[in-house]
Structure 1
Amino acid sequence: MSRLLAQLQEQLTRFDDEGFAALANRGLLRRAQKDLERLAVEIEQQSDTEVVVKVGEQHIRFDARGPAQASCDCPAAGVCQHILAAAIGLKQRAGEAPAPVEDPLTPLRENLLAIPTAELVKHAGKAGYRWAWQYLHDLAEGEALQVTGEKHLVLALQRPRLTLRYMGGGLANLIADVELPQIEKYRVAAVLALRRALGQDVAPPEPAAAPRTQALDLGARSRGGPSARGERCRGAGGLAAALAGECAAAVRRVGRARAGAPVERHA
């Protein structure tokens, strides 16, 4: 048995029907269970990077990210009934694991608490992390999160009401019970809330970049750079020359008038 297959089966033993339904929906779960009544689940390939499972005519590929990120060669998008059937089949192959001595939720909590802040920022983006941090600080400590579960962690956010189930793996394996846009920021908010609930520090987000003013975008001319100063000097020099010419012409006209000479008229 490859190391990856052992990890997958260990992770899948934490799934119950609620967990499998959260991967897709209850209708697909029922179809997957029906498939398993008539189709065999066969492990076709296994390595430390990929496990390929055959269910009927379909091939399902798992990697270290677990069933939430598995792929199937059927036309359906996302987690289909074949992925569910393959995951349930792998769980059944693992058999009933002996009752662990320690709390089964302890390693799951440790996994989430060990995720570096940089990875949380990468998962949700800088704006998403900032939102998650602000979301947490806008709520009183007891309002942010409820933590329950037996075989797997159940993290329940109160506003909005959202339940995330975690059986192991990376952040993408925090499986939500409802579809929300930008689910990544809610996953990060749940992890930050768990950290705060367990007395760990929550790193603040990077400050937002200050908006650039128009003056900053105008280039060297607005800052009085060499080209701007040169243009101003050239303009001033031309004006001075024109004024000097006008003054000289006026003086000549006055002199001629006093001498009785005809005065030049300029249009």
Structure 2
Amino acid sequence: AARLLAEARAAYGTHDPMPQHHLPLAALTLGVAAAEGRLHDARAELVRVLDTGFPPGTQRYGWPLLLSAAAAEADARALPAAEEGRADILDRLAEAAKHLTTGAPVWVAHERWVRAELHRARGRDTPRLWSEAVTAFERLERPYDLARVRHRLAGALLATGGEDERARATELLRLARTVADHLGARPLSEAVAVLGRRARLTLGRAAEPAPASPPPDPAEALGLTGRERDVLRLVSDGRTNRQIAEELFISPKTASVHVSNILAKLGVSGRGEAAAVAHRLALFPAERLTSGSTE
């Protein structure tokens, strides 16, 4: 990673001041320094960025950088050498997070993640904060990020010492390991294994369902993707393609394509029929009723 970072800097990192270039490089510089145990170098890179500030519209680069810095501080919390200056760094990170936009679900999820890491860095780790981060990422199609926050939630649950919490932590770690192994994310896989060993958990592979068993979720049987399910939920609520696009932060044309695919998969000719199928199969039981409807 350090070698590739040096190559990137040689290519454009020293002469192009555009934030879409220097902010990702700063995040990588910070992350490599933290991974190599050079926390003071990581902090210096963070301070340099924070002193400059995040230009408007750069949240897609700002949130990963804040996350990398907050996680580095949390990971180094037990190191005596890291104590000096920690409070100021954490305060600056929290202040920067307050002013960075969360105008899309993915950045709302990152805000939850950064907040949980800052509490972990201060020794105030709680399952509630990590549960909020997990819930936020479960709504997105970001399996690696979801696996990482599930790993952290498992650690927070295990710290409580309850049997119910241990059972939930075991399942979370199994899910995180499955994703890590599938993606070849070795550091995450190793972190999951270490946490499991320390807590004396058995992370054996969950039993596979019988081949003839139908999928528990009707949406899976229909072949709907996660995004198509989100669109169908809004169709069932009577939303237009433009309203769906605004809700899901996609273009109206993309929304239209999703609707067409949904109609084809459901074998129906219109939006009303699609809503009827969704209602009949109880795809959205908790969201079935709109604010003005009655049973």
Larger Cα-atom Rg: 1
More strand by share: 1
Relative CO higher for 1 or 2, CA cutoff 8 Å, sep ≥ 6?
Answer: 1
- TM normalised by structure 1 equals 0.22
